[in-house]
Structure 1
Amino acid sequence: MAKQYVVTPSQMKKAEAMCEQKGTSCAVLMRNVGSAIALHISRIVKPCRAAVLVGSGNNGGDGFAVAHNLRKRGFSPLIVLVGSAPKTDLAIDCFNEYKPDYEAVLSYHDQPETVLSELGSCGIIIDCVYGTGFHGELAPPVRRLFSYCNGSAALRFCADIASGCNATDGNADEYSFRADMTFALGAVKTGQLYVPCSEFSGDIVLLDIGISEACFSEYDAELNGDSLASHFVNRSRITHKGTFGRLLNVSGSENCIGAAWMSTNAALRTGSGLVTLASVSEVTTSVATSLHECIYLPLGSKTLTSDCADKLCKNAGTATAILFGCGVGNSDEAYRLLCALIDNTSCPIVIDADGINSLAPHINELKDNTGRLILTPHIKEFSRLSGLDTDYILRHKLSCAKDFAVKYGVHVLLKDAYSVYASPDGFTAVNMSGNAALAKGGSGDTLAGTIGGLLAQGIETGNAVRLGAYLFGLSAQYAARERSMSGILPSELPQLYPYILREFYGIA
């Protein structure tokens, strides 16, 4: 599968220009857009009356092509000219070519009340008004139109980006078109990852419109995708448990038994050959009653202390990966224990949750560990690590994660609705799998265990982190096929890993 990208509008223009040089014209791309969007809509919506809101530029041309292809699929398309008549040559050509397919063409400027009345009978509304070149504020009449659309019962779709949003920095007019689903054309736009634009985008679906991977000479980040599954460890008959690695999971405390259970369970479900849970006695005793496949290393009582460093480091000598921090408690003792593991081992170490919190005050003491440390903070934890304001991070996730990873020589997975991975060499990727089912306590523990289990099997560090994030998000989408996201528990999701790997990728 070809690589997929996150780009700014200027980077997208360069990719389109390169595509044209290679023989695919912008006119062909516009028609590809219409076909791809109509096909996707037809898969999730039965034919109905469809309002297509169009602007005067090429985004409006995309709308004319969408309406034409919807007609072919049984929909009745109503064209609403939000501004003036089409102005660009591409849009004019599309409008004239497909005009016979439209139920009607209405001008919002000339007939605002008629347009609002007609929208009330439409099952879907498609925004093809401003596109990626928009910045600033919407005009009052357009705000009124979008307010009406946003309050309607119709399903709302956007071509490329919600009108009123800035595709570069994510700023948005408060009355921007609010989509249930946005079709990112050829590449996801950088601004869609940031608030408030992300709040207007709904689900983002990347569509292939005929621009090849080779056309993207510049981009802000790669996207995680199906190709990551090729890095998963497949199974040969002539193997044993040691073949698939050993994870040492240092997690849990008297008040956080669940964090130890969830992270250990996730590591086992990824296929790690041997998983050892090192924790206080109360945790290991409790987890052992329901999780029988791992090894237990009891370390004192109540909370972990640096007194158990020697025993822990001795066990870590045979580990192929270490997970540290899920529910261990935020303390200087936890930090000293982490330092002991870093100083006395050479395998990859995933640092999560309380491990991150205990590390934060000492981050400038972090040594060069040849890129073997993986930090998995959520936004607030990253704020503690970096000293940056959470609002700033939310608006600059890509650069924040990248700069931190390069500065400290670590791998970072900055967890959010769209999580960002950054490596010590500056490579950046975005994970877009997942849904709101993951917005629950325990998700971070489960994800950390998933990554740890993959690392233990010998998967290269960057690929293991990206694959773990992608697989975990995909499991939430898989679970939501038949159940409400409200009731899906993070602890249930690793049970789905074997089914997903078999169904989607044929991995044994």
Structure 2
Amino acid sequence: MAKQYVVTPSQMKKAEAMCEQKGTSCAVLMRNVGSAIALHISRIVKPCRAAVLVGSGNNGGDGFAVAHNLRKRGFSPLIVLVGSAPKTDLAIDCFNEYKPDYEAVLSYPDQPETVLNELGSCGIIIDCVYGTGFHGELAPPVRRLFSYCNGSAALRFSADIASGCNATDGNADEYSFCADMTFALGAVKTGQLYVPCSEFSGDIVLLDIGISEACYSEYDAELNGDSLASHFVNRSRITHKGTFGRLLNVSGSESCIGAAWMSTNAALRTGSGLVTLASVSEVTTSVAASLHECIYLPLGSKTLTSDCADKLCKNARTATAILFGCGVGNSDEAYRLLCALIDNTSCPIVIDADGINSLAPHINELKDNTGRLILTPHIKEFSRLSGLDTDYILRHKLSCAKDFAVKYGVHVLLKDAYSVYASPDGFTAVNMSGNAALAKGGSGDTLAGTIGGLLAQGIETGNAVRLGAYLFGLSAQYAARERSMSGILPSELPQLYPYILREFYGIA
């Protein structure tokens, strides 16, 4: 599968120009857009009356092509010219070529009441008004139009980016078109990762419009995708449990037994050969009642202390990966244990949750690290680590994660609705799998265990982190096929891993 990217508008223009040099014209791309969007809409919506809001530029040209293809699929497209008639040659050509397919053509704001009345009878509204070049504020008449659309019962779609949003920095007019789904054309736009643009985008669906991977000479980040499945360890007949690695999971405390259970369960479900849970006796006794494939290393009572460092490090000598921090408690004792593991082992270490919190006051001690540490903070945890304000991080996730990873020589998975991975050498990738089912306590523990289990099997660090995030997100999407996201629990998702690997990738 070809690589997919996150790009700025200027980077996208270069990709389109390269595509044209290779023989695919912008006119062909525009028609590809219309076909791809109409196909996707027809898969989720029955034919109905469809309002297509079009601007005067090439984004409007996309809209004319969408209307034409919707007509072929049984929809009745109503064209609303927003602001003026088409002005670019490509848009004018599309408008004239597909005129017979339009139920009607209305002009806004020249016919405001007529337009608003007609919109009320449409089952879907497709926003093709402003493209990725928009910045600034919407005109008052357009604000009124979008406000009406946003309050309607119709399903709302945007082509490439929700109109009113800045595709570079994610800023947005407060009256921007609020899509239920945005079709990212060729590549995801950088601004869509940031608030407030992400809040207007709905679900982002990346569509192939005919621009090859080779055309993207510049980009802000790669996207996690199905190609990552090639890094899974396939299982030959002549193997044993040691073939698939040994994870040492240092997690849990008397008040956080669930964190240890969820992270251990996830690691086991990835296929890790041997998983040892090192924790206090209250945790190991409880978890052992339901997870029988795990090895248990009891270490004292109630909370972990540095007194058990020698015993822990002795066990860690045979580990091929370590997970530290899920529910251990934020304390100096936790930090001392973490330091002992870092100083006395050479395998990758995933640091999550309380491991991150205990490390935060001592973060400068990581500066000379050798790149084997993986930090998996959510936004607030990353704020504690970096000293940056959470609002700033949400608007600059790519650069924040990248700068931190390079500065401290660590791998970072900055967790959010769209998580960002950054490596010590400055490579960045974005994970867009998942859904709102993951917005629950326990998701971080499950994800950390997933990554730890993959690392233990010998998968290269960056690939293991990206693959873990992608697989965990896919499991939430898989579960939501048949159940409401509201009732899906993070602890249930790892049991879907074997089904996903078999169904989608044919992995034994």
1:108 Cα deviation (Å)?
1.1
TM-score of the superposition, structure 1-length normalised?
1.00
Matched residue, 1:251: 251
1:367 Cα deviation (Å)?
4.7
> Residues of 2 paired with 1:413 and 1:4: CA distance?
19
Secondary structure of the equivalent of 1:182? strand
> Residues of 2 paired with 1:369 and 1:197: CA distance?
36
RMSD: 0.4
TM-score of the superposition, structure 2-length normalised?
1.00
1:92-134: CA deviations, max 9, x gaps?
0000000010000000121110000000000000000001010
1:90 Cα deviation (Å)?
0.2
Runs of 5+ unmatched residues, structure 1:
none
1:180 Cα deviation (Å)?
0.3
Secondary structure of the equivalent of 2:98? helix
Is the contact between residue 222 and residue 429 of structure 2 (CA under 8 Å) also seen in structure 1?
yes
Is the contact between residue 48 and residue 124 of structure 2 (CA under 8 Å) also seen in structure 1?
yes
> Residues of 1 paired with 2:357 and 2:109: CA distance?
55
1:349-374: CA deviations, max 9, x gaps?
00000000000000001153321000
> Residues of 2 paired with 1:367 and 1:106: CA distance?
61
Q: Which moved more, 1:365-374 or 1:42-51?
A: 365-374
> Residues of 2 paired with 1:182 and 1:141: CA distance?
23
Matched residue, 2:191: 191
1:89 Cα deviation (Å)?
0.2
Secondary structure of the equivalent of 1:184? strand
Matched residue, 1:203: 203
Is the contact between residue 475 and residue 496 of structure 2 (CA under 8 Å) also seen in structure 1?
yes
1:391-424: CA deviations, max 9, x gaps?
0000000000000000000000000000000000
1:8-66: CA deviations, max 9, x gaps?
00000000001001110000000000000000000000000000000000000000000
1:285 Cα deviation (Å)?
0.5
> Residues of 2 paired with 1:230 and 1:157: CA distance?
33
Secondary structure of the equivalent of 2:132? helix
1:299 Cα deviation (Å)?
0.3
Moved over 3 A (4+): none
Is the contact between residue 185 and residue 206 of structure 2 (CA under 8 Å) also seen in structure 1?
yes
1:159-215: CA deviations, max 9, x gaps?
000000000000000000000000000000000000000000000000000000000
1:234 Cα deviation (Å)?
0.8
> Residues of 2 paired with 1:246 and 1:179: CA distance?
45
Matches within 5 A, 1:143-182: 143-182=143-182
> Residues of 2 paired with 1:109 and 1:367: CA distance?
58
Identity of aligned residues (%): 98
Secondary structure of the equivalent of 1:164? coil
Matched residue, 1:440: 440
Is the contact between residue 369 and residue 408 of structure 2 (CA under 8 Å) also seen in structure 1?
no
1:480 Cα deviation (Å)?
0.3
> Residues of 1 paired with 2:466 and 2:365: CA distance?
27
> Residues of 2 paired with 1:87 and 1:109: CA distance?
17
> Residues of 2 paired with 1:431 and 1:366: CA distance?
26
1:445-473: CA deviations, max 9, x gaps?
00000000000000000000000000000
Is the contact between residue 249 and residue 278 of structure 2 (CA under 8 Å) also seen in structure 1?
yes
Runs of 5+ unmatched residues, structure 2:
none
Is the contact between residue 437 and residue 489 of structure 2 (CA under 8 Å) also seen in structure 1?
yes
> Residues of 2 paired with 1:376 and 1:443: CA distance?
12
Matches within 5 A, 1:413-492: 413-492=413-492
> Residues of 2 paired with 1:500 and 1:236: CA distance?
19
Matched residue, 1:324: 324
1:52-92: CA deviations, max 9, x gaps?
00000000000000000000000000000011100000000
1:247 Cα deviation (Å)?
0.1
* Aligned pairs, number: 508
